[in-house]
Chains A and B, each alone.
Chain A
Amino acid sequence: MIQDTIAAISTAVGEGGIAIIRISGPQAISGTDAIFRSKISLKDADTHTVHYGHIIDPASSEKVEEVLVTVMKGPRSFTAEDVVEINAHGGVIAVKKVLDVVLQLDGYRTAEPGEFTKRAFLNGRIDLMQAEAVIDLIRSKSDRAFSVARKQAEGVLSKRIKALRQTVIELLAHIEVNIDYPEHDVEAMTSAYIREQCELAIAEIDKLLKTANEGKILREGIMTAIVGRPNVGKSSLMNVLTQENKAIVTDIPGTTRDVIEQFVTLNGIPLRLLDTAGIRETSDVVEKIGVERSRDALQGADLILFVLNYNEPLVDDDRQLLEQLKDRSVIVIINKMDLPGRLELAEVEQYVSSDAIVRMSVLQESGLDILEATISEMFFEGQLEANDLTYVSNVRHIALLKRSKQSLVDAIEATHVGIPIDVIQIDARQAWESLGEILGDEAGDSLIDQIFSQFCLGK
């Protein structure tokens, strides 16, 4: 099968100083060699070696960029094809220029999204689950999410899914033996036993699904909306958290007119911060749009940081908002603790528990540690530091786990309405197959193997 050689910038544009152009395919090495000026020819280079040199534009013979080129020969590469990676140090424009030169080479074309992974997958280099984990790996933003994706590819999750499948297959084998050896003195299959085993499996799936939620948070960050009346210090809080001055901070009420999104890591907890325009009724048209957007952001948020000014008493707007947020994950930040207190704390505690009230002075950057602890407690039950980083973080895996759970719930349901065991088996088997799909390999003969290793049968 004739394969094109594909190339693409494999690091996110604009992130960090280094950009990598990855090239994969039969002409990866010879093609790059034609535009690479260095002490050695890439064709003679050993696999997994790095070489310093310059990319030359063949049209003008001019140096385009100073680079490091890594050569990885197939099949011991990510795609199992010959792979070349060009590390360029310049900015966006320089990198794009290198890519332009590369793409003019014969037999080269731009990689489609995910095509490197797809090739790795199609070349049998990685299995389905690893492929998806790699895709997540690419997308992962925080250090922790990276670790989750890596561990998944290594098979921590695989192990847990396999154990789960074992529970289900033992149940299946037990049902099968009752069907295929009706006169055999194996323990009769009872509804109670089926329910017990299904519930065991469901409990494990629930645990995994819970990590899915945590995994999603780690990968995408906790969607955090900062709300409060104008000028209570929302943007300052955001600036402290991001250590940058992205939001416009003034002491004129209503200065923040848009929702600004920032991805920050607060002691390992990734937050996707939404700085919202001050929520208040306003006649200013521009500001009105901002207010609308703030309300939308509020709806989609996982966490709401409600900022109050210690120096001002509660007003009806605050009470109304507190009332609205009663059932949400909300942390009330009492800002400006350095100023004289005019706020009735007891009244705030009528709306939120005292655990969810954090006293801070954003200006003096005090109380940040307490905020971190409070968020960690709220989302990870304080166990974020635990080393067992098994997170289900892939949409497909989550869907399959849910489908598997539904099949087990159906099986339990069926036992209650007197459905015969061989029909219940269909649900249980479906659960087993859904779990198998996560691992990407087929069930095969293993049920039969299980039957004969678990039971003593014969004539």
Chain B
Amino acid sequence: MSYEAGEFDVIVIGAGHAGCESALASARMGCETLLLTINLDMVAFMPCNPSIGGPAKGHVVREIDALGGEMGRNIDKTFIQMRMLNTGKGPAVHALRAQADKFSYQHLMKKTIEETPGLTLRQGMAEELIVEDGKCVGIITKTGAIYRAKAIVVTTGTYLRGKIIMGELMYESGPNNQQPSLRLSASLKEHGLELIRFKTGTPPRVHKDTIDFSKTEIQPGDEKPKFFSYETKSSDNEQLPCWLTYTSEKTHQIINDNLYRAPLFTGAIEGTGPRYCPSIEDKVVRFADKPKHQIFLEPEGKHTSEYYVQGLSTSMPEDVQLDILRSIPGLEKVEMMRNGYAIEYDAVIPTQLWPSLETKKIDSLFTAGQINGTSGYEEAAGQGVMAGINAARKVQGKEPIIIGRSQGYIGVMIDDLVTKGTNDPYRLLTSRAEYRLLLRHDNADLRLTPIGYEIGLIKEERHNQFLQKKALVEQETERLRNTKIKPDDVAEMLESAGSAPLIQGGDILSLLKRPEVTYDHLASVSPSPYELTDEMKEQVEIQIKYAGYIEKQLLQVERLNKMEKKRIPVDIDYNDVNSLSLEAKQKLILVRPLSIGQASRIAGVTPADISILLVYLEHYNRVTAARGN
């Protein structure tokens, strides 16, 4: 028996990292929103490593924050370790990484959701989509509840026909032995979406008191932690260290001796696993000449003794897992609390989505997160916030927001997914961005806060702070440009900076282009009349120091934008474009790119195809124009 359970503007299926952001964004933009989850105790759960951030991923968290999302604020309040990585490298790749107290992280996120006006959090398993005239208008749950809405966001993570595999054992399950979602896949397929099977995995967890930390290296957090959210000014969170050890020769021996029991090699696993996150058995086989692999031991929270064994993701049988663990220095007497496992799940081939994350087949149906073939909490949350924003805008009759490749990693990721698709679970890497120097960790607010404000997710007060920061950075840069100095004025300062003396006078700004001279050096000779925060000083310094390279990239962006602005009509029939290669034709029909820029990024579409397409569009436009007359 089914019954009418309520009407909403937006329904979000799944309360993982994508779902939470989707629901919050939608509700905060004024849409009555329902967030459905199979288990209320699993909201914002971290089924794998208890950490957030790192290169590219940390950038995304800052971007989510600049857009008015929650992940940054949530981790800033619940971290148990904060580290800035890559500090020895350039500013674009500095990356914040936090270890989370995974329980606090969940509880705080759940609380925030529960307290958000217009947002209803409910336990229930969505099993069927209601589609009328090609438009998704609601869902039916396992208990027969019919919820109706104007837009639906599906963020099912690894739950869709989830199957856990470990050694000879195999059973239907969501992550961490949660109930899987077995029927929604069929409904998605029935309405024309094509699904693929992906796989991921997680390592075992061990008891802290059985680890001999003396045989490992300590990895402490930063003494002066920085934060993800631009709103967080300070924190008194106590930090816990992580620990580093390595696999041994014995580890590799055990793995090699037991390969015949490894599902990865026996053919039991059908799904494609992530390249960047291979299991230990995969690493040992593929890089046989590597004598040892790193293993990080990470606390899962303040009030638990569970430690996450990073580097040891595996689907070997439980007994072998224990043998492997105990072959590692420091873990000789370790007690395994949970075993590692591989999990297979259904995902939607992401080329079936528009860049707004709405499906092309079913109007008003959006998907975000792992269901789109990605992996990682941050990737999920980044898509989640965009799907939430665009679902809400769809309901409100507004154009979707699409972040460009030169505007943010979120834009890079979504463009990659919808344009190229992915053959294995997609992870963001800084190398996926063409304009890495523009997509810095430090300027996410400069890039995206205006958008967050425009769509109503960034409030007036924060926007004012943002405008003030921007203005002060510009004024200070201008001041430095106009401050003239003589060699004598800066002789002492340059010496202390270990920099060559100045031969001819000039503006003080130029000195900042020397790698060894910092903003603080300049300020020591020429103090600023403005009250500048550390972030503002950092901004001034980076913008001046890397101006040459930044300008080069900006120029490239300008060229790219020309291609992005050449729009392709949605109703174009590629079968009409005779000289296109067959492969290009097929790909273009599949992806239906919105611009020549997007078309040029499709694998299999050659520059020749683009020339042809350009010629054809010219022809098409002329014909259309002639018809109009």
Contact status of A1 and B429, CB under 8 A, knowing A456-B286, A459-B277: no
Answer yes or no: A14 CB below 8 A from chain B CBs. Answer: no
User: In the assembly, what is the distance between CA of A176 and CA of B608, in Å?
Assistant: 30
A119-127, A145-153, A215-223 - the one binding chain B: A119-127
B residues less than 8 Å from A121 (CB atoms): 608, 611
A125–chain B nearest beta-carbon distance, Å: 9
**Which of A178, A183, A419 counts the most B-chain CB atoms under 10 A from its CB?**
A183
Answer yes or no: A184 CB below 8 A from chain B CBs. Answer: yes
Answer yes or no: A421 CB below 8 A from chain B CBs. Answer: yes
The interface size bin for chain A is: 35 or more
Answer yes or no: A64 CB below 8 A from chain B CBs. Answer: no
Contact of B608 among A122, A181, A459 (CB under 8 A): A122
CB of A426 within 8 A of CB of B515, answer: no
A residues less than 8 Å from B189 (CB atoms): none
A32–chain B nearest beta-carbon distance, Å: 22
B residues less than 8 Å from A172 (CB atoms): 431
> Which residues of chain B in 90-115 are interfacial with respect to chain A, using CB atoms and an 8 Å cutoff?
90-93, 95
The closest CB in chain B to the CB of A128 belongs to B607
CB of B615 within 8 A of CB of A180, answer: no
Contact status of A452 and B431, CB under 8 A, knowing A444-B603, A445-B603: no
A residues less than 8 Å from B86 (CB atoms): 179, 182, 422
The closest CB in chain A to the CB of B283 belongs to A456
Contact of A180 among B279, B283, B429, B437 (CB under 8 A): B429
Answer yes or no: A418 CB below 8 A from chain B CBs. Answer: yes
Contact status of A426 and B552, CB under 8 A, knowing A122-B612, A124-B579, A456-B287: yes
A residues less than 8 Å from B578 (CB atoms): 1
Answer yes or no: A331 CB below 8 A from chain B CBs. Answer: no
The closest CB in chain B to the CB of A123 belongs to B579
A204–chain B nearest beta-carbon distance, Å: 24
Contact of B437 among A418, A423, A441 (CB under 8 A): A423
CB of A457 within 8 A of CB of B276, answer: yes
User: In the assembly, what is the distance between CA of A440 and CA of B607, in Å?
Assistant: 7
The closest CB in chain A to the CB of B426 belongs to A448
Answer yes or no: A185 CB below 8 A from chain B CBs. Answer: yes
CB of B431 within 8 A of CB of A176, answer: yes
B residues less than 8 Å from A124 (CB atoms): 579-581, 606, 608-609, 612
> Which residues of chain A in 16-57 are interfacial with respect to chain B, using CB atoms and an 8 Å cutoff?
none
Answer yes or no: A447 CB below 8 A from chain B CBs. Answer: yes
The closest CB in chain A to the CB of B552 belongs to A426
Contact status of A180 and B56, CB under 8 A, knowing A121-B608, A458-B278: yes
Fill in one digit per residue for B273-293: 1 if any A CB lies within 8 Å of its CB, else 0: 001111100110011001001
Answer yes or no: A417 CB below 8 A from chain B CBs. Answer: yes
B587–chain A nearest beta-carbon distance, Å: 13
CB of B89 within 8 A of CB of A422, answer: yes
CB of B420 within 8 A of CB of A451, answer: no
Answer yes or no: A420 CB below 8 A from chain B CBs. Answer: yes
Main secondary structure of the interface of B (DSSP, over half): loop
Fill in one digit per residue for A428-459: 1 if any B CB lies within 8 Å of its CB, else 0: 00000000000011101101100110001111
CB of B313 within 8 A of CB of A441, answer: no
CB of B55 within 8 A of CB of A458, answer: no
Fill in one digit per residue for B328-369: 1 if any A CB lies within 8 Å of its CB, else 0: 000000000000000000000000000000000000000000
CB of B515 within 8 A of CB of A456, answer: no
User: In the assembly, what is the distance between CA of A125 and CA of B432, in Å?
Assistant: 31
Answer yes or no: B85 CB below 8 A from chain A CBs. Answer: yes
> Which residues of chain A in 409-424 are interfacial with respect to chain B, using CB atoms and an 8 Å cutoff?
417-423
Contact of B549 among A179, A426, A457 (CB under 8 A): A426
User: In the assembly, what is the distance between CA of A423 and CA of B420, in Å?
Assistant: 27
User: In the assembly, what is the distance between CA of A444 and CA of B437, in Å?
Assistant: 19
CB of A127 within 8 A of CB of B89, answer: no
Contact status of A459 and B611, CB under 8 A, knowing A179-B89, A418-B515, A420-B90: no
CB of A458 within 8 A of CB of B313, answer: yes
Answer yes or no: B430 CB below 8 A from chain A CBs. Answer: yes
Answer yes or no: B577 CB below 8 A from chain A CBs. Answer: yes
User: In the assembly, what is the distance between CA of A426 and CA of B436, in Å?
Assistant: 9
Contact of B283 among A127, A442, A444, A458 (CB under 8 A): A458
User: In the assembly, what is the distance between CA of A423 and CA of B616, in Å?
Assistant: 39
User: In the assembly, what is the distance between CA of A419 and CA of B513, in Å?
Assistant: 10
Answer yes or no: B216 CB below 8 A from chain A CBs. Answer: no
CB of B546 within 8 A of CB of A417, answer: no
The closest CB in chain A to the CB of B287 belongs to A456
CB of A179 within 8 A of CB of B430, answer: yes
User: In the assembly, what is the distance between CA of A425 and CA of B435, in Å?
Assistant: 11
The closest CB in chain A to the CB of B513 belongs to A417
A residues less than 8 Å from B577 (CB atoms): 1
Answer yes or no: B310 CB below 8 A from chain A CBs. Answer: yes
The closest CB in chain A to the CB of B90 belongs to A420
Contact status of A421 and B607, CB under 8 A, knowing A176-B431, A458-B313: no
> Which residues of chain A in 157-192 are interfacial with respect to chain B, using CB atoms and an 8 Å cutoff?
172, 176, 178-185
**Which of B86, B89, B278 counts the most A-chain CB atoms under 10 A from its CB?**
B89
B residues less than 8 Å from A423 (CB atoms): 90, 92, 437, 546, 549
Contact of B55 among A182, A425, A441, A445 (CB under 8 A): A182
CB of A458 within 8 A of CB of B276, answer: yes
Contact status of A420 and B89, CB under 8 A, knowing A127-B608, A426-B437, A451-B431: yes
User: In the assembly, what is the distance between CA of A127 and CA of B54, in Å?
Assistant: 40
User: In the assembly, what is the distance between CA of A13 and CA of B609, in Å?
Assistant: 34
Fill in one digit per residue for B15-43: 1 if any A CB lies within 8 Å of its CB, else 0: 00000000000000000000000000000
User: In the assembly, what is the distance between CA of A458 and CA of B600, in Å?
Assistant: 31
Answer yes or no: B619 CB below 8 A from chain A CBs. Answer: yes
User: In the assembly, what is the distance between CA of A441 and CA of B313, in Å?
Assistant: 37
The closest CB in chain A to the CB of B432 belongs to A448
Answer yes or no: B167 CB below 8 A from chain A CBs. Answer: no
User: In the assembly, what is the distance between CA of A23 and CA of B91, in Å?
Assistant: 59
Fill in one digit per residue for B46-85: 1 if any A CB lies within 8 Å of its CB, else 0: 0011000011100000000000000000000000000001
CB of A459 within 8 A of CB of B89, answer: no
User: In the assembly, what is the distance between CA of A122 and CA of B296, in Å?
Assistant: 54
A residues less than 8 Å from B600 (CB atoms): 442
A residues less than 8 Å from B49 (CB atoms): 459
A residues less than 8 Å from B612 (CB atoms): 122, 124
B residues less than 8 Å from A441 (CB atoms): 606-607
CB of A185 within 8 A of CB of B294, answer: yes
B541–chain A nearest beta-carbon distance, Å: 13
User: In the assembly, what is the distance between CA of A440 and CA of B608, in Å?
Assistant: 9
> Which residues of chain A in 91-129 are interfacial with respect to chain B, using CB atoms and an 8 Å cutoff?
121-124, 127-128
CB of A447 within 8 A of CB of B431, answer: yes
25 pairs across A/B with beta carbons < 8 Å? Answer: A122-B615, A123-B608, A124-B580, A124-B581, A176-B431, A178-B89, A182-B54, A417-B515, A418-B516, A419-B90, A420-B93, A425-B436, A441-B606, A442-B607, A445-B603, A452-B275, A452-B276, A456-B278, A458-B277, A458-B279, A458-B283, A458-B311, A458-B313, A459-B49, A459-B277
Which 8 residue pairs are nearest across A and B when measured between Cβ atoms? A420-B90, A418-B515, A456-B287, A176-B431, A422-B90, A182-B85, A452-B275, A422-B93
Given contacts A176-B431, A423-B549, 7 further A-B contacts (CB under 8 A): A176-B429, A182-B54, A418-B516, A422-B90, A423-B437, A447-B431, A459-B311
